Amino acid sequence: MHVSLLGPLTARLDGRELPLGPRKQRLVLATLLARPNTPVPVGVLTDAVWPDDPPRTARKNLQVYVSAARTLLGPAGDGGRDRVVHGCGGYLLRIAEAELDTLRFGALARAGRAAAGRGDLPGAARLLREALDLWEGPPLNDLRDSVGVAEEADRLEARCLTVFEDWAETEIELGRAAVAVDGLRDLVERHPLRERLRAAWMTSLHQSGRQAEALAVYDDYRQLMSRELGLEPSPAMAAQYRSMLGRGREARRPAATREAGSAGALPACTGAFTGRRDELRDLLDVLGGGEERVVVVSGPAGAGKSALAVRAAHLLADRFPDGRVHVRVRREDGTARSRAEVLAELGRLCGVAGAAPAGAAGGPADARGATAALADAWQGWLARHRALVVLDGVPDEAAVRGLLPRSGKCSVLVTARGQLAGLAPVHRIALPALADGEALELLGKLIGAGRLRTDPGAALRIVRACGALPLAVEVSGMRLAVLRHLPLAEYAARLDDPSAALDELVAGDVSVRDRIASGWRDLGDGDRWALGRLAELAEDGGFALDRATAALGRGERAAIRAVESLIGAGAVTSPAGEVTAHAALYEVPRLLALYAREREAAALPGAPDRPEAPDLPGVQASALIPG
C-alpha cells in the first residue's frame, strides 16, 4: 500500500491505482490520512464534508464512507487488523510510515535535521532532499474546496516549505547554492511574503556570483512588504542585504573554501527559532558594525541563548571572511570545562600551532606552561584574522578572560546564565521571557497551527505555565506532538499543578528540571538559600524589597544585596525602568521557583541534613542582624 497526500490524493496497492470513490468519501479519507494513527472526532469529519449545513443523516453517511474506505484499503499490517477503527475519540486510520508519504517525509526531515545538528551537512542535505522528492505539488490540491481539508493541506504545505528552506540553507552552507536557486525562485513566486524563502534565494544568488539579482530580490521584497503590510523586512534580512552591498568576490566565496574549516564548527540553525527580533537586530547591528568586539547574551537556563547566538552567527557570515567558530564551554552534564580544554579545542578548530591538549605530558608546571603558550598563540591568531567566535555556556568570567581578543578585528559572542559583570567593556543583551504571541508561535511550529486553533485558550495556559521559557515551550510541544490524543486543556491542567509541572516537562532525553538543576548548581550556597525563600513569593507575581526583606528574615541592606546577587546570576529579573529600589518589582521565573521550592521541601525541619542559613552573598556577618 502506498498513499500520497503531498499532491493529489492517490492510493496504490501492488502498483495498481485504487479508485477512491466519490468526492465526499475522498474528503473523509483525506481527513483521516492527514491525522494518521490518531483518533479524528466525528465533528471534524462532518465539518470537512458538510461545512455549512450537515444533513440529519450525516453520521450514518459517514459510517458508509468509512466502511467503504475500510474495504478499499484492506487490513493493516500482517496481523489482519482493521485499517479503520472507531473509538471514544473518533475514527482512527492505521497506516505505517512506509505506506504514507507524509509519515515518510517527516521521518526523513527529522533525520536530516539531526544530521545537521551533528555537523554532518552533506548527510543532512541528502536526507532533506529525499524528503522533498516526495513532494509532488500543493498537498491535496484536488480537495481544497473543503475548508477543513484546505486547513490540513495548508499545514502540510507549510511543513514542506520549512524542509525546503532547511535544505536550501544547508546547500548554501556547503557552498552549493546553485542547486537551490531555481527551486527557490519558483517557491518565492508562489509564496512572496515568506521571508525565509526569499532570504535563502537572495543568499544563493549572491553566493553564485549574481549580486545584482540578489540585491533586486531584497528591493522587491521591501517594496512588497511596504505596499501590502506597511512593514519593513526583518532586521536579519536587512543585515544580509547590507552585508552584500559593495562587497566583492571574497564575500561570495563558498564557506567550504574558507580558512580553518570554521563553518563546519557552527551548528545548524533550529527550525523552531521564534521571536527575539529586537535582540537579533541588536546583535547584528553591534557585531556587524564592528563597534564592539565582545557581546554577552545572558538569561536563565532554557531562555534560548544558544539558538539566538547561532542564528546571528549564520547571518553574519559575510562580515567575518575568516569564518565563525562555535565552542561549548560546558560538558554535556552542565559542568564547566577548564580553560585549557577550551583553548585546545579552539586551537584545533582554527589551526593554531601547539594545540595539543594541555597537560598531556609532564607535571602541573608543564601543563601551565603549555596552556600559557597556547593562550599566546591563540591571541596571535585573533590579532591576524577577522572571525566570529561563539563561546557557548560560559560559567563565569575566569573561564573566558584569556580567550577574548586583545587586538585585531575578531569578535566574540558569549552566552551565559549570569551577566558576567566582571567582564568589561562588553555589550550586554539580556533575554527576557517570550511574549505570549511568540511563545504560541513556537508551540504552533511543533504541534501544528491547526491543533493550536482547536483550543487557543488552553494553548495560552500552556505557554504561561511554562513561564514563556523557550525550552519549556519546546518540550511541551515535543510531548504534545507525540501524545496527539492528549487534549490541550488536559495538558494545561497538568502544568498548572505546581507539584506536577516539572514532571510533565520531559521529552525523551530532554528535561527542563535537569537544565534548571544545572543552573541551580552554579549558584553559591548563599544564593541558593536566598532563592529558596524568595521562591515562595513567586506565586503572587512580582515582589518588592519589603517582602523580600521579610521572606529572608534579614535587614534591608542584606536583602537588597541578596536580590542583586541573584539578578547578577540570572535567577531574578532586574527592575524595569528608572525607579528606586523601594518601588522596584522583582520576579523569580515560575519554573525556577518550582524547582527551588522542591529543594526547600527536601530540607524541611526534621530532615537529617538541613543546612543552617549561610551568610548572604556580598554582606558582612554584622549586616545580617534582623532590622
pLDDT, residue 625, reads 29
* Fold that domain 178-251 belongs to in CATH: 1.25.40
Using a CB cutoff of 8 Å and minimum separation of 24, what contacts does 488-492 make?
A: 488/451, 488/452, 488/454, 488/455, 488/458, 488/459, 488/462, 489/455, 489/457, 489/458, 489/461, 491/458, 491/462, 492/458, 492/459, 492/461, 492/462, 492/465
In three-state secondary structure terms, 270 is coil
CATH number for the domain running over 266-430: 3.40.50.300
pLDDT, residue 163, reads 93
pLDDT, residue 72, reads 86
* Fold that domain 2-100 belongs to in CATH: Arc Repressor Mutant, subunit A (1.10.10)
pLDDT, residue 488, reads 94
pLDDT, residue 133, reads 92
pLDDT, residue 340, reads 85
Place of cell 499490517: 77
* Average pLDDT of the chain to the nearest whole number: 82
Query: Measuring CA to CA, which residue among 244, 254, 116, 94 is closest to residue 173?
Result: 254
Best CATH choice for the domain 523-624 from the list 1.20.120, 1.10.10, 1.10.1060, 3.40.50: 1.10.10
pLDDT, residue 619, reads 43
pLDDT, residue 291, reads 61
Q: What residues contact 398, with CB distance under 8 A and at least 6 apart?
A: 339
pLDDT, residue 347, reads 81
Q: What residues in the chain have per-residue pLDDT under 70?
A: 77-80, 246-265, 268-272, 290-292, 353-369, 540-541, 574-583, 603-627
Paired residues of 4 in beta bridges: 10
Element (H, E) at 193: none
pTM to 2 decimals? 0.57
In three-state secondary structure terms, 324 is strand
CA 409 vs. chain centroid, Å, equals: 30
Paired residues of 12 in beta bridges: 2, 17
